[in-house]
Amino acid sequence: MKRRVLFLCTGNSARSQMAEGLLRHLAGDRYDVYSAGTHPVGLNPGAVTVMQELQINISAQRSKSIAEYIDQTFDYVITVCDRAKESCPR
C-alpha cells in the first residue's frame, strides 16, 4: 500500500510543486504525492523551467487549495514554508 504525502506551502506555486514532482519522479511507485497551498496563486513558470532542467515535467500540475484535501488522510504532511505550517489545519 502506498503512503500518502502532501507538500504544503502558502501559494502552491513553486517549492511545493517542485517537491511533488520530484518525489513522484523518484518514488512514485511507493508514494501517492500531492501538493497544496493555504492561498494558492497558480503554477510558477520558473518552477516548470527548473524542473525541466532535471528532466521532470510538472507543467500539467496545477495550484491547489488545502481545502481540496481537508477530508483526506495523509501519512506525511510536509510544510515547505513557516507560514504554511502556522496556518495548516489540524
Please list the active-site residues: 9, 81, 88
**What CA–CA distance (Å, rounded) separates 22 from 82?**
21
- Rounded Cα distance, 42 and 64, in Å: 8
- Cβ neighbours, 10 Å, residue 62: 12
Strand ranges (E), 1-90 = 3-9, 31-37, 76-79
